[in-house]
């Protein structure tokens, strides 16, 4: 039986990648496509913007879209995602969240909802990035003395949050491996006379421009050598395919909070 998928933000860049991924997967069925009520694409076929017919019209009626569905996949904004979260709880629908930029309080709401429905929540759905997180943890445990950790990320000009959710997750992986609290050791900007670098800190540098899909580098800089772990995404299809894999992972889950390491069996 095919897994019936609902895509939130269907007219956006990630929405298009998800639509194409669902249509290309014989094990999945596009059940509904939703977007903001003011979208000019409401009422149009979900495949119109990339020249395909899906037989599914874009709607703003979330409750109707979720009726009879299996999984909602969402790469929108935190405020919209929390509304989808409530709708999924009410309908008993599983939820894949690729949205970033949540506050601590908003994340707590997701954790609470996972006691009622099954959720995969990850700042990056890429299989490669998930592996990178594990590699960063391993590297930090070995390079635990004499190496400064800096995280550099680059994204397209339209990204609204910084640092990226993926960069923060990489920082958490490094900090956790070293027994540190990222909230206390992160440095998000440097300007002027900053003094010498505190070796216990983890630095972040953010680049925004053009159409960069997503680049992340974790730099371990020592004396006489440096190690760089890098992932570069050249297509949003990598995130879409990871999200669809997460949707399949949830097929036999009734409740619980999972991330991509659970999906890939890396825990």
CA distance 14 to 10: 8
Catalytic status, residue 90:
no
CA distance 69 to 50: 24
Catalytic residue, from 155, 232, 248, 253: name it. Answer: 155
What the block records as the tokens of 192 is: 């002027």
**235 in helix, strand or coil?**
coil
Nearest Cα neighbor of 257 from 10, 85, 90 is 85
Catalytic status, residue 159:
yes
Hunting for tokens 């825990």 — which residue is that?
Answer: 267
**Torsion sign across C-alpha atoms 32, 35, 102, 261:** positive
Looking only at the bridges linking them, the beta strands covering 214-221 and 148-155 are: antiparallel
Catalytic residue, from 57, 89, 109, 159: name it. Answer: 159
**91 in helix, strand or coil?**
helix
Nearest Cα neighbor of 85 from 66, 61, 113 is 113
Contacts of 80 (CB under 8 A, 6+ apart): 8, 9, 36, 74, 99
Contacts of 194 (CB under 8 A, 6+ apart): none
The catalytic residue positions are: 155, 159
């Amino acid at each position: 039986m095919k897994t019936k998928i609902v895509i939130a933000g269907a007219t956006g860049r990630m929405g298009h990648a998800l639509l194409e991924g669902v249509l290309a997967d014989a094990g999945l069925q596009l059940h509904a496509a939703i977007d903001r009520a003011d979208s000019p694409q409401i009422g149009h076929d979900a495949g119109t913007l990339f020249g395909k017919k899906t037989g599914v019209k874009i709607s703003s009626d979330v409750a109707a879209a979720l009726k009879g569905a299996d999984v909602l996949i969402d790469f929108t904004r935190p405020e919209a995602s929390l509304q989808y979260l409530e709708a999924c709880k009410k309908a008993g629908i599983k939820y894949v969240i690729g949205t970033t930029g949540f506050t601590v309080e908003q994340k707590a709401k997701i954790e609470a909802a996972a006691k009622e429905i099954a959720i995969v929540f990850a700042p990056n759905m890429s299989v490669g990035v998930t592996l990178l997180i594990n590699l960063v943890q391993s590297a930090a445990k070995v390079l635990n003395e004499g190496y400064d950790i800096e995280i550099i990320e680059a994204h397209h000009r339209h990204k609204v949050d910084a640092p990226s959710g993926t960069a923060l997750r990489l920082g958490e992986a490094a900090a956790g491996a070293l027994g540190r609290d990222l909230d206390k050791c992160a440095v998000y900007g440097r300007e002027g006379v900053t003094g010498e670098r505190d070796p216990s800190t983890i630095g972040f540098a953010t680049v925004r421009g053009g159409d960069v899909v997503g680049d992340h580098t974790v730099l371990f800089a020592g004396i006489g050598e440096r190690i760089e772990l890098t992932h570069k995404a050249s297509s949003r299809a990598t995130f879409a395919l990871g999200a669809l894999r997460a949707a399949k992972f949830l097929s036999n889950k009734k409740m619980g909070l999972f991330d991509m390491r659970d999906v890939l069996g890396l825990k």
